[in-house]
Structure 1
């Protein structure tokens, strides 16, 4: 069983974790930021708190698991 995704992370915190993990900030459109690395594109909503289902989707886009996110936060 996969570990639960962390709760209470903001879009900015997730964006910083992606940058630490090798993703490059590309652009922002409205309240969503775009990051890119190794042919992958990840869209992150810049909300105060990103919901668990949305965070799971971000991790899937990045090719990460919860442990990879934890290493970069």
Structure 2
């Protein structure tokens, strides 16, 4: 979901990682959906940075095996 948002909005991993204050490599891992779940605080930062297009609950529904 994050990868698709980045592509759709034309935002680079470098720019997005700066917006949320995280390492580019970690953001890349999250964008690739490699079974990583960010902290709740980071999930809400991503939600805010994407204007709600990547909601915080996405990461937790996914980790619990529920459809987002």
Which category of TM-score, normalised to the shorter sequence, fits these structures? 0.3 to 0.5
- Structure number with the higher helix fraction is 2
Larger relative contact order (CA 8 Å, sep ≥ 6):
1
TM-score when scaled to structure 1?
Answer: 0.37
TM score, norm. by length of structure 2: 0.38
